Structure 1
Amino acid sequence: MNTPELGLPMAVPAEGLPARVRIHEVGARDGLQNEKAVVPVEVKAEFIRRLAGTGLTTIEATSFVHPKWVPQLADAEDLYPAVAGLPVSLPVLVPNERGLDRALALGARRVAVFASATESFAKANLNRTVDEALAMFEPVVRRAKAEDVHVRGYLSMCFGDPWEGAVPVPRVVKVCRALLDMGCDELSLGDTIGVATPGHVTALLTALTEAGVPVSALAVHFHDTYGQALSNTLAALQRGVATVDASAGGLGGCPYAKSATGNLATEDLVWMLQGLGIDTGVDLGRLVATSVWMAAHLGRPSPSRTVRALSHQEQ
């Protein structure tokens, strides 16, 4: 048991949890994509540099989507080269083959496709059925793997959908299995509207394991709409998941799901993991300072409780 430092929790390890967790930082992409005012590319690049300086090893940089769909990310061709030299992994989203072409042309070595577990969200997000979306992703994944590029498969609406309600576990398992069979190296299970609870998380992870999906290939991506993101994360850790998506300062939501609030704040996650004695390699003080800096650029305080507690931000 470690003696607590000022601004750090006492480390009291719990049995049955991973010794180390890799944080997949999504603040620069998922966190900023909903901002109404365009964030200058220089600010985005500095944000990513500062995040890299905290010890984070995976920082999702941008998305190569058509600019009319997500105007905030229209600067992908300018942003990626500005940060490509950083000594961290910089995954990017590629919705289709054109997006993959753009990413590969800039030297991206980690890409992600974005699928849905529900028909309603697939229609809203991609204007396709679930099966049509999977068919669109198949050549993207195949080509990426042929180039020895790491592929992540995001799966949204794994627990609840604003149009369809609760999502049956077998449906999620089916789409996960399809993405894995397609060639995805990693699957990120998204609680897009934040309705999951720990028992639901455990049930889904158990079903995935029974379907032959290795827990080592899984990540979790929780939103904190109902204040459940950390408890859901702990449930996932107890099932062996060791990759957790989070957004610096709790930035972000989903432009196609109006009830989606911010992502799990990276600082809140790091505070919990440090308290459990789990290694992340992240300097919490630097991370808080980075989120305070970004919040100043956005003109509002960070919603992260840990950022507020450690930085004394105005409420």
Structure 2
Amino acid sequence: MPSVLLAGANGFVTVTILQALLNQGYNVVGTVRSESKIHYLHDKFSKFVDEEMLTFAVVQDITVPGAFDEVLKANKFDSVVHTSSPYHWNVTDARRGMLDPAIKGATGILESVRMLSPTVKRVVITAMFGNIMNIPKGDWPGKVYTEEDWNTITFDEQALSHPSMAYVSGKEGAERAAWDFVKETKPHFTIMFGPPEQELTSFNTSTADIYDVFNGTSEPRFTTWAWVDVQDLAQAHVLAIDAPAAANQRYLVTTGNYSAQAIADYIWEHYPERAVAKRDLGITYKHGFDTMLRDTLKKLEELEAEGK
């Protein structure tokens, strides 16, 4: 069966990609940053480990030149899926903690594959919606983003001003560097970019953003409104490995545009006991969004009829 190198196998998106690859019959070597990260994956996918479809390798620092050389030399791969990029706000050095792992990690693995893995035919790299979003424009009503768009913030302009900007700049820098790599070196493989269920010793940033609204400790704080279920995103990665049309392409994978308020609205509708006013005041919610909107529109019709 085809063999895949999956970089960053314990990540939020990557664990679901790993499950999808194994379900499709791929043999997978998953890299993690430390031996301790293997235990959870070994237990979760013990069936595939026992069947020798899944093995692991430790790559401690993906920013080091040749970080993936050892695992590439020890295995014969048909494809590579690279999703590794830190996504959290607990950094004191944005360049070292965000930018370097994203950019050097992507270019480093591409160079190692070019030099050491002649059997690799496709490299799939995960980007993010921020790579195409015009952040200064904000919501930008009426704008329809496509794969032709690029983020307009320059690398030095705001990259180090806040961890979120460093994350976006790192992801965009990694993608631009990868396209430059293909253009300049013309490697024996093609690349495919896509946007965007791991061990929960703590919530990853995306999950924490939702949970903090769910438990009432935060208002919605999302800055990006393009959403995709991680299972669909994982399937996109698997399909991209063999799809001929995906060679050297860039795809925006999203189920649509949803506001951050939609998360809060869903929680209020389906988990009304979570609402802060109910907890503090003991109020019972009897009028949902549909009722509120129905009554409001009815009143507006009445006012229209009265000529007001």
Report the structure number with the largest CA radius of gyration.
2
Question: Which of the two has greater helix per residue?
Answer: 2
Q: TM-score normalised to the size of structure 2?
A: 0.35
Higher relative contact order (CA 8 A, sep 6+): 1
Q: TM-score normalised to the size of structure 1?
A: 0.34
